[in-house]
Amino acid sequence: MKEGESIYHKIKKEEKCCSTKRSVNEHGKTFSINCSDKNINICCVKLDKCLITAISNQKQCDYLFMSDRNNSPTDYSYYFVELKGSGCDAEGAFEQIQQAVHYIKSRFGAIPKHQIWGFIVGGKDTQNMSRLKERFKRDIGKELKHSTGIRYEHKI
């Protein structure tokens, strides 16, 4: 990898795991990115069992969506997405997102907190969710969003 190359471009080189999809579906849950700005490029990265291979039996976050506005590193955003089946609680999803962010940073380099978002689609809401959202904001990224429904659409 070239010195000074952005995290976005380093990850995008992992072609077998990257696509231009704007929507993913697993366990009956769907996450999609809605973007009408033609200057924004979207890259969907399959994390679990693709970019992130088995790490000591840890479950991994499902997807990472990356957005790039005008090829400017200050305008990159990283959206970590976990799609949970019914009956699962969202706390495990938080751990999976946290581990994925740590893995991406250790393998590809630092990402500013304000460029990192977390999304959990599905799973049970717990009393602890507001604390997890605060912890995410304090320690990991800009915001953690949780939808107990079957679909979440993020507009950028």
**Residue 1 has what pLDDT?**
44
8: region left, alpha or beta (phi > 0 left; psi from -120 to 50 alpha) = alpha
In the prediction, which pLDDT does 77 show? 95
pLDDT digit string (tens) for the chain, length 156 residues:
455 688 888 998 888 999 999 999 998 999 999 998 888 899 999 999 899 886 666 778 999 999 998 777 778 999 999 999 776 778 889 999 999 999 999 999 999 999 999 999 998 878 889 999 999 999 999 999 999 889 999 999
Q: What is the pTM of this model?
A: 0.92
